[in-house]
Structure 1
Amino acid sequence: MRQDKGWWRGLVATLTAGLVILAVPGTASAKEGPDRTAIERAVSDFAGKAGYPGIAVTITKGDQVLYAGGYGHDSSGAAVTGTTPMPVASVSKSFTALAVMQLVEAGKVTLDRPVRDYLPDFRIADPRGAQITVRELLNQTSGITDGTFPEKSLPQPDSLAGAVTRARSATLAVEPGTKHFYTNTNYHLAARLVEVVAGEPFTDYLRRHVFEPIGMLATTTIDQTPRDLPHDARKGYVYAYGASIPAIEPKRFVNGSDGVITTAADMAKWLSMQSNAGLAGNGARLVSAASIAAMHTSSDPRWTYGMGWDTDQKGRVKHNGIWFTHTAHELLLPDGYGIAVMGNSGIGLANEGITPLADRLATLVTGGEPSSDAPVRLIVDLTLAGLTLLSLFLGIRNLRRTRIWADRCATRPSWRLALRLLPRLIPLALLIALPDLLGRLVGGGRDVTFIQLCYYSMALITWTAVAAVMNTSVLATRVVALSRLHRLAGTPPALDASAQLAAN
């Protein structure tokens, strides 16, 4: 009898241990999963150098969750864990694409038919808009761009229906289907298409047909930031001079394009379904293997973007996500690994997101040694801080020497004085043009407002603003000093022409 009881207790203990290994994130066997300590070391190293107070990570292989956990803290001071709600920003596009493909498989939508067949209210300020197909929205090849329709700079709609109405002022940069231009507008339209065809709000559709069937019970999608953020989704951070500062995401319409709020634990279920050709770990099938392959693969060799997913040169399927206070990335490796990372610090100068961490983890899980880069973000901000102090010092020095400069230059011709003074307006012109300039040079033509630029790099804005204020002050005081000297001397002011030029 004792032997029977001992055998039974041993069996129960063995089964219990096995269930714990399967249920607890990050405790998969060493043979099948990456080393937990190595993962946490890679995450903490990246977080410290890139300025991320909190990061959530999940790693899967097939239908197995190898790791789901967190590092650091959120803006309330609570620890970030595998169940901490965080936005995944433009990773949301892969969810919207899947919703459309479900309707395709149900025979309710045809990818190569015009969008207007399903959205009768869809009109844009370009007759070629009638040609735009559903596939071209998902491929980001509609011809709409941030340049032809600056969606962040325009008034933000309250709903997907409002987003369709707002898009009526859009024009096309090229013929539909001929070139890839990434813009959120395409996915606002795609999400509204789901609403109209399915006959229910997009948020409800995702909950009933995507999130709940595979067990993503802590996941939702929202219309507008910061208004619609769930109460348990904490605000993220902006970065300046080595400090992470809590900040509320600026007002933006995000549903369909970048509105999903989820957790690392829920993203593990999403990645497993994607890696298993549309079949979730709980046995639910969301779409067919053919639809998954279509979303993961570009339909044209001229671009790499499929439908809500992109492909890199290594054959990895991915999508990044960028808010001004959060960043995210999802990555599927050819050998079955899935990786999702979410950080609570936004896009910034010398920090284009959390993608480098996903790459490091991909190297780690495939047996490589991840790199450890220098903290470029801090170096850039400290350099800008130095330039700010230099601009302030030079400006104050020049202001103090205004009378000396005026005495020395009072007899010079007006045209020479104008040539010397007008360059003082360059920093002001740069400050005004900075949103458009950075959008073109760094953002690949993406639209950004001046307020959003402050989130992007407070250090850059501060330097440019200080340089603009100092230089315009120097210009104004020198013009006034020269005019005063001429009045005191009783001679016609030699600077009249240059003063008028400077004032203009």
Structure 2
Amino acid sequence: MADLNPLQSLLDSEAKSLHVPGAAVGVLVDGVEHVLTTGVTSVDAPAPVTGDTLFQIGSTTKTVTATVVMHLVERGRLDLDGRVRQYLPGFRLADERAADELAIRHLLTHTGGFLGDIDDGESWDTTALADSIGTYDQLPQLFPPGALASYNNAGFRLLGRVIEVVCGEPYEDVVRRVVLEPLGMGSSFFFPWEAATRSHAVGHAVREDGPRVAHTWGLFRDCMAEGGLASSVRDQLRYAAFHLGASGEEPVGAATRELMQAEHVRVGAPWTGIGLPWLLEERAGVRLVTHGGNIGNLQLSTFVLAPERGFAVTTLTNSAPGKALGALVTDWCLEHLLDARPQAVRLALREPSPEYAGSYDAGQWTFEVDESLTARFVLRPELAAAGVEGMPDMPLALVEGSDDVTIAADPQRVVGRFLRDDAGEVAFLHLGGRAARRVR
């Protein structure tokens, strides 16, 4: 059996150093599940994190939504290449041709082409999802469906509505019936009133004097299909085991699981490709099938499968530095459990150019890029006022011979790129998987 005592030591020390109040890690290796925890659910009302503590997993929920979609595809109730309007006849986008061409596959692969980060509602009504979809004719169409992958939360909101219409019941009820109950995920919930009666982590904002509880749930009902699930690390291991093929044919069969994990769209950094809708990477020759989540920079998660090795690791955390903690945990596991230690690389860099300086609009925020290539993350004022946490400035550097960018202080890998229009002018900043349109 794998010795995970060194990982527990790393988890304890790094969580404290990074100001992550609490975290839970699940590892599946050699057919054995391991659960490691550290810290507390809340600095205001400290209770120890356990393997049953609920965390908001954020966008890993998209893979659950996709599992429901593929369940319906298997049963002939959805067509992967069917047009959205086949299921939602009144659906509209700002671009009529795009609305007519948009297919289920585009939504699963983040290639819908319309603005992906949009405003949330403030309702827990059963009509919240339908009401949100009714505003999609106001979203800018950045490129035609299928032309480019750009991470799209709004597309998964739309998939949630398709599920509701096809099944004739609320999205959350379908997920419970199709995924959660068959997999024995009895500690996974969508609604805050369900989590409130169980041990659950709360999000924290990290200030100069340490983590402080953020008094917000962070989501409303229209966001459930894109990121609304709260789950325990034990349930996440059950979910991982299913997608590794260790627990039967429900909710989807082996061929469908493999199809979901295959590359359907090739992209540049931060991933090598996109599945349905898994984010694909490779580390030292090991193929990784991944996702992760971020609820307002307050609760962050990672979820990594190595299908050919029967391996999984997930990290659930309750503050923004949890992203870094999750990366450290994943790296340790890959190196020590799979012998997959990437070799150090230093990319050749070139001097910054004024042509890249400008403002790049991602919808809910902009990247303000100066002539030195530092990208400043600027939240819309109403989001900042609502308590959404921002991100620190990101000093970037250009990679020699390309429009690719890397982190200036640590140029080991490409993290994004500038994209040009047909006239050769810089038109987008593709960073964090999203294409932010240049507006100045």
For residues 174 and 447 of structure 1, the distance between their equivalents in structure 2, rounded to whole angstroms, comes to 27
Go from structure 1 to structure 2 and tell me whether the alpha carbon gap of 1:99 and 1:113 turns closer, same or farther (over 3 Å shift). same
For residues 438 and 82 of structure 1, the distance between their equivalents in structure 2, rounded to whole angstroms, comes to 41
TM-score (norm 1): 0.64
2:245 equivalent to 1:240: no
Go from structure 1 to structure 2 and tell me whether the alpha carbon gap of 1:228 and 1:255 turns closer, same or farther (over 3 Å shift). farther
CA contact 1:42–1:370 (8 Å) conserved in 2: no
Tell me the secondary structure at the aligned position of residue 36 of structure 2.
Answer: strand
For residues 324 and 94 of structure 2, the distance between their equivalents in structure 1, rounded to whole angstroms, comes to 33
Aligned to 1:398: none
Aligned to 1:339: 313
Tell me the secondary structure at the aligned position of residue 171 of structure 1.
Answer: coil
For residues 309 and 377 of structure 2, the distance between their equivalents in structure 1, rounded to whole angstroms, comes to 32
For residues 46 and 455 of structure 1, the distance between their equivalents in structure 2, rounded to whole angstroms, comes to 21
Out of 38, 47, 69, the residue aligned to residue 71 of structure 1 is 38
The AA in structure 2 aligned to 1:241 is E
Go from structure 1 to structure 2 and tell me whether the alpha carbon gap of 1:193 and 1:230 turns closer, same or farther (over 3 Å shift). farther
Out of 243, 255, 266, the residue aligned to residue 290 of structure 1 is 255
Aligned to 2:163: 194
Tell me the secondary structure at the aligned position of residue 322 of structure 1.
Answer: strand
Number of aligned positions between the proteins: 353
For residues 88 and 195 of structure 1, the distance between their equivalents in structure 2, rounded to whole angstroms, comes to 22
CA contact 2:267–2:274 (8 Å) conserved in 1: no
Aligned to 1:54: 22
2:102 equivalent to 1:132: yes
Deviates more, 1:236-245 or 1:75-84: 236-245
For residues 434 and 171 of structure 1, the distance between their equivalents in structure 2, rounded to whole angstroms, comes to 13
Q: Shift of residue 156 of structure 1?
A: 4.7
2:146 equivalent to 1:177: yes
Aligned to 1:436: 366
CA contact 1:145–1:182 (8 Å) conserved in 2: no
Aligned to 1:26: none
Go from structure 1 to structure 2 and tell me whether the alpha carbon gap of 1:369 and 1:114 turns closer, same or farther (over 3 Å shift). closer
For 1:43-442, list aligned pairs within 5 A. Answer: 43-61=11-29, 64-75=31-42, 76-127=45-96, 128-146=98-116, 150-152=117-119, 155-156=121-122, 158=124, 159-222=128-191, 230-232=196-198, 233-241=200-208, 243-249=210-216, 251-253=218-220, 254-276=223-245, 280=247, 283=248, 285-302=250-267, 304-314=273-283, 315-324=287-296, 325-333=298-306, 334-346=308-320, 354-367=326-339, 435-437=365-367, 441=375
The AA in structure 1 aligned to 2:106 is E
Q: Shift of residue 369 of structure 1?
A: 8.3
Q: Shift of residue 230 of structure 1?
A: 3.9
For residues 347 and 129 of structure 1, the distance between their equivalents in structure 2, rounded to whole angstroms, comes to 38
2:14 equivalent to 1:42: no
TM-score (norm 2): 0.72
Determine which structure has the larger helix proportion and give its number.
Answer: 1
The AA in structure 2 aligned to 1:237 is H
Go from structure 1 to structure 2 and tell me whether the alpha carbon gap of 1:145 and 1:58 turns closer, same or farther (over 3 Å shift). same
Q: Shift of residue 310 of structure 1?
A: 0.5
Structure 1 gap segments, 5+ residues each: 1-29, 372-428, 461-504
Go from structure 1 to structure 2 and tell me whether the alpha carbon gap of 1:174 and 1:215 turns closer, same or farther (over 3 Å shift). same
Tell me the secondary structure at the aligned position of residue 328 of structure 1.
Answer: strand
CA RMSD of aligned residues (A): 3.2
The AA in structure 2 aligned to 1:46 is E
Go from structure 1 to structure 2 and tell me whether the alpha carbon gap of 1:78 and 1:370 turns closer, same or farther (over 3 Å shift). farther
For residues 190 and 156 of structure 2, the distance between their equivalents in structure 1, rounded to whole angstroms, comes to 13
Go from structure 1 to structure 2 and tell me whether the alpha carbon gap of 1:185 and 1:446 turns closer, same or farther (over 3 Å shift). farther
Go from structure 1 to structure 2 and tell me whether the alpha carbon gap of 1:347 and 1:337 turns closer, same or farther (over 3 Å shift). same
Tell me the secondary structure at the aligned position of residue 456 of structure 1.
Answer: coil
For residues 14 and 29 of structure 2, the distance between their equivalents in structure 1, rounded to whole angstroms, comes to 23
Go from structure 1 to structure 2 and tell me whether the alpha carbon gap of 1:454 and 1:330 turns closer, same or farther (over 3 Å shift). closer
The CA deviation string for residues 379-417 of structure 1, in whole angstroms up to 9 with x for no partner, is xxxxxxxxxxxxxxxxxxxxxxxxxxxxxxxxxxxxxxx
Q: Shift of residue 255 of structure 1?
A: 0.7
Aligned to 1:469: none
The CA deviation string for residues 414-434 of structure 1, in whole angstroms up to 9 with x for no partner, is xxxxxxxxxxxxxxx9xxx99
2:418 equivalent to 1:449: no
For residues 448 and 141 of structure 1, the distance between their equivalents in structure 2, rounded to whole angstroms, comes to 28
Q: Shift of residue 335 of structure 1?
A: 1.1
Tell me the secondary structure at the aligned position of residue 78 of structure 1.
Answer: coil
**% identical aligned pairs:** 24
